[in-house]
Amino acid sequence: MHIVRDEEAPKHPHKSLAHPRAQELMSTDWYYSPIEGMAPFGSDDGAEAFLAFYEWRQANRNQSAVSFVYQQLMYWGYPSFPLSSLNEEELLTYIKDSPVGDRMLYGTDAAIFAIAFGDLYVSGSIDEDMKQLALVTVERQMLPLLLNQWREAKEERTIHLTDFRRILTDV
C-alpha cells in the first residue's frame, strides 16, 4: 500500500502525490480539483470527507472504507438511510424529511465518492465493498430524481458519472 508521508499530507489531493494506479485511472487534473463541485474531492462534503478519510486511513489500513463512511455521516449528524438504496420513493422520503434533505443526500453521495476515490488515491485500489457502494452511488445519482436537479449541467454530470463508473469498474 502506497501511503503518503505525513509531511506530504495534502490539504487537498494533488495528482503528483497520488498512487501511480490512481494517476493512471484518474488521468486528468479535474479529478483532483478542490473546487470543481462534480469532481470527487471538489464539493465541500467531498473535500472534508477526503481529508478525514486520509487521516483515518493512516491508522486503519486494514479496515473497510465503508466503516469510515458511516463514521463520517454520523459525525456530520446526517440521518441514516440504506446507503445502497436505489428506490426513488425511499429517497424522496429521505429528502422530504428535512428542509435540507436533498443537500444531505447529495453530501452523503459526495462523501462516498470522495472516500472511494480517496482510497484509490492513497492505496491504488478500492476495497471491494467500498467499490460496490460507490457503483450503487453512481446509479443513484443517475436516477432522474437526482440527475434532474443538475438542470443545465445534467449532461455534464452524466458524463462524469459514466467516467466514475468506468474507473470503479477498472480498478
6 part of a folded domain: no
Instruction: Supply φ then ψ for residue 60, to 5 degrees.
Output: -130, 55
The mean of the pLDDT values for the chain is: 92
8 part of a folded domain: no
52 part of a folded domain: yes
Which of 42, 50, 43 lies closest to 120 in space, CA to CA?
A: 50
Report how far residue 139's alpha carbon sits from residue 54's, in angstroms, rounded to the nearest whole number.
25
14 part of a folded domain: no
* Helical spans, DSSP H, in 3-153: 20-25, 44-59, 65-76, 88-96, 101-123, 128-142, 144-147
CB 115 within 8 A of CB 49: yes
Report how far residue 134's alpha carbon sits from residue 130's, in angstroms, rounded to the nearest whole number.
6
CB 65 within 8 A of CB 119: yes
Q: What is the pLDDT of residue 3?
A: 43
Q: Is the pLDDT of residue 152 over 50?
A: yes
13 part of a folded domain: no
How many independent structural domains does the chain possess?
1
Please write the tens of the pLDDT for every residue from 51-98.
Answer: 999 999 999 989 999 999 999 999 999 988 899 999 999 999 999 998
39 part of a folded domain: yes
> How far apart, in Å, are the Cα atoms of 39 and each of 1, 9, 80?
24, 20, 24
Please write the tens of the pLDDT for every residue from 20-47.
Answer: 999 999 999 999 998 899 999 999 999 9
95 part of a folded domain: yes
- Write out the residue range of the structural domain in which residue 99 sits: 20-170
141 part of a folded domain: yes
